[in-house]
Amino acid sequence: MQERTYSLVLRTFTMTLLQILAIIFYFAKQSSFSAIDSNMTWHSSEIPVFLPQEILKLDKPRFSAKAVPDLTTHCNEECLWKEAHPTLKDLKENLSYETVYTNGTRTLTMVDFAGFDPSTFLLKQYTPRRLRRKRQIFGVDGRFDISGKQFLLHFPFSTTVKISTGCTGVLVSDRHVLTAAHCIHDGKDYVKGAKKLKVGFLQENPKTQKLAKSSKLPPKLLTRWSRVKRTQVPKGWIRSQNDLSMDYDYALLELKRPHDRPHMEITVMPTTDQVAGNRIHFSGFDSDRPGQLVYRFCRIINETPHLIYQHCDAQPGSSGSGVYAKLWLPEKQHWERKIVGIFSGHQWVDLNGVQRDYNVAVRITPLKYAQICYWIKGAYSDCHLH
């Protein structure tokens, strides 16, 4: 009797939480429509032409590094200045990339690009703002557990996947997953688990599906694992091995076989006034809530050419989550979710003798968009904003 009562209370609480979540989504959508600005020009950004050049064969990686589920970095005035004043040589070096295949072979692709003005990086500069003392969870925990197959198995939550090294990823094509570079490479070498890397998809357990219908209880979900065919990591992350930087903390995984569910579209992160509610959203598999998909949203607090600073509550395991925003599509006359960044971890910023802490996402810039799109499409002619 007590078990039945407890089960009923738990189900009631879960449904109440889901109703609250649905209300949040509804009002967020309504308020977004009231904030449409005639200057919604993010979609007209010029995308550089990404041109792979020489391909060099490298030794097979040792896969000796330990996984880094909780990345924390530091940045000061010098770090911020370098980020906002890149040289063309540095950009070409950072956007060169390594490719690792299932047989362990590894290559380095040198790149060039056309149609890019480095001075555009100067448009975004960090300015000191409010001080926070706690890390990762900022005050009251604002995360939501996503429950029920009507949410978990449908867009946008169904685009979130597990990475076998303990991180999260997001589906960005019918066979590609975007995640954080530190989930597979620690800056010096690929992590042990990256040798047989897998991506996990939540799905219904057919054995318990019939039982759930007869008992009127929500069916339990299981994780279906899919092998990765190859991984691609920008040299900007690997170059940072002596002084880890989040600027290029992203990687693309190509699956051996295509999946059968919707994916998120990536785009260039626009200015904050072009983001609905100035808010970003992401879902991940936080390590302190095992077995749960955890969703959160929050306002953007600060930004630099490469990073989005915010106080979205997060824990280890959420690294690699696809950070999305609602953007206005003039040609379609509606708002749409687009991936604008990748959740990386935590950073302490020291400026003018004051230390501030943030949770940080890598922003997708025009150059990064051109690179990731080329990895997905295989041709720069197919890479344009829409």
Q: Give the pLDDT confidence score for residue 249 in this predicted structure.
A: 97
Q: What's the rounded Cα separation, in Å, for the pair 132 and 269?
A: 25
Q: Give the pLDDT confidence score for residue 141 in this predicted structure.
A: 82
Which pLDDT tens digit goes with each residue over 227-252?
A: 999 999 999 999 766 677 899 999 99
**Bridge partners, residue 368, by sequence:** none
Which pLDDT tens digit goes with each residue over 310-331?
A: 999 999 999 999 999 999 888 8
The closest of 57, 50, 45, 44 to 372, measured between CA atoms, is: 50
215 is catalytic: no
Using the structure block, give the residue that is written with the tokens 């001075």.
119
Q: What tokens were used for 337?
A: 């979710």
Which pLDDT tens digit goes with each residue over 331-371?
A: 888 899 999 999 999 999 998 888 899 999 999 999 999 99
Confidence of residue 81 (pLDDT cuts 50, 70, 90): confident
Q: What angle is formed at CA 37 by the lines to CA 32 and CA 41, rounded to 5 degrees? A: 110
Q: Select which of 43, 176, 182, 259 is catalytic.
A: 182
Which pLDDT tens digit goes with each residue over 86-140?
A: 888 989 999 999 999 999 899 999 999 987 776 665 556 677 665 444 445 666 7
Q: What's the rounded Cα separation, in Å, for the pair 310 and 279?
A: 9
Percentage with pLDDT > 90 across the chain: 58
Q: Select which of 141, 243, 273, 382 is catalytic.
A: 243
Phi and psi (nearest 5°) for 70?
Answer: -125, 95
Q: Give the pLDDT confidence score for residue 291 in this predicted structure.
A: 87
Confidence of residue 204 (pLDDT cuts 50, 70, 90): confident
> Where are the strands (E) in 96-236, listed by range?
97-101, 106-114, 144-146, 160-163, 167-171, 176-179, 198-204, 221-234
Q: What's the rounded Cα separation, in Å, for the pair 258 and 123?
A: 39
Residue 22, pLDDT > 50, answer no
CB-neighbour burial class of residue 323 (10 A; exposed 0-12, middle 13-18, buried 19+): buried
319 is catalytic: yes
Q: What's the rounded Cα separation, in Å, for the pair 26 and 9?
A: 26
Contact 214, 327 (CB under 8 A): no
CA 183 from chain centre, in angstroms, equals 12
Specify whether domain 35-382 bears CATH 1.20.140.10.
no
Residue 172, pLDDT > 80, answer yes
Q: Give the pLDDT confidence score for residue 330 in this predicted structure.
A: 84
Which pLDDT tens digit goes with each residue over 96-107?
A: 999 999 998 999
Q: Find the range with the poorest average confidence among 231-235, 253-257, 300-304, 369-373.
A: 300-304
Q: Give the pLDDT confidence score for residue 23 in this predicted structure.
A: 39
Helical axes 366-377 vs 88-95, angle rounded to 10°: 30
Q: DSSP 3-state assignment of 32?
A: helix
Q: What's the rounded Cα separation, in Å, for the pair 303 and 340?
A: 13
Domain ranges of the chain: 35-382
Q: DSSP 3-state assignment of 355?
A: strand
Confidence of residue 6 (pLDDT cuts 50, 70, 90): very low
Mean pLDDT to the nearest integer, 198-225: 74
> Hey, what amino acid is at 214?
S
Q: Give the pLDDT confidence score for residue 46 in this predicted structure.
A: 79
Alpha carbon of 382 to those of 113, 141, 237, 353: distances in Å?
15, 41, 26, 47
Percentage with pLDDT > 70 across the chain: 78
Q: Select which of 164, 245, 319, 344 is catalytic.
A: 319
281 is catalytic: no
